[in-house]
A and B are shown apart, each in its own frame.
Chain A
Amino acid sequence: GAVVSQHPSWVICKSGTSVKIECRSLDFQATTMFWYRQFPKQSLMLMATSNEGSKATYEQGVEKDKFLINHASLTLSTLTVTSAHPEDSSFYICSARRGQQTQYFGPGTRLLVL
């Protein structure tokens, strides 16, 4: 089956620091990766869509300079939360898709900014 991993699974950082989250497709090449954010007891909200080798497409209201996305290879996308603040604390989930097939989700990364 298609497996997507995320690293780290959780991270605590100080306000003002930057945090990088990795999303990897382990056994398939993902032409498209998606980054979601999920607040407690709420649904997933799409942040951005990234295609390998091109710039990410951000959803309305998502600051692209705040949430830097890099999709340098067909198996790796990174999300960097720059100058993190407590309001950035959330559960970040990535998904990966090959062509037009189903999206496979990573286990998520819990970020806590103190």
Chain B
Amino acid sequence: AQRVTQPEKLLSVFKGAPVELKCNYSYSGSPELFWYVQYSRQRLQLLLRHISRESIKGFTADLNKGETSFHLKKPFAQEEDSAMYYCALSGNNAGNMLTFGGGTRLMVKP
């Protein structure tokens, strides 16, 4: 079974402060990890995936297999980063379905 856990439902920071959204997963094989973002009144969209090793909008995430984590980080939060963030896992199962974490709402205060 695959599981994704985001321990924080809400994370509130001030503009310019560092941000870390936590994500832990459980999967017996080699997973593919994603971060999706949903801005207010908009659809879910891919933020980044671990295999790309890229930085999007200043966000990065490193897959730590030892700790089974895929935390999302940004050194300086901006107000426009306020959104719901979902961590998701895709295993090498049939259909490659995504399993989502519960989501973390990030609020960046001015």
Contacts and interface: CB of A to CB of B under 8 A. Distances in A.
Interface in B64-90: 86
B43 A44 contact: no
A51 B95 CA distance: 9
Contact of A43 (B42, B46, B102): B102
A68 B98 CA distance: 21
Nearest to A106: B43
Interface residues of B, number: 18
Interface of B: 36, 42-46, 49, 86, 94-103
Interface of A: 4, 32, 34, 42-46, 49, 51, 57, 93, 95, 100, 102-108
20 contacts: A4-B43, A42-B102, A42-B103, A43-B100, A43-B101, A43-B102, A43-B103, A44-B44, A44-B86, A46-B97, A49-B95, A57-B94, A57-B95, A93-B44, A95-B98, A102-B46, A102-B49, A103-B98, A105-B36, A106-B43
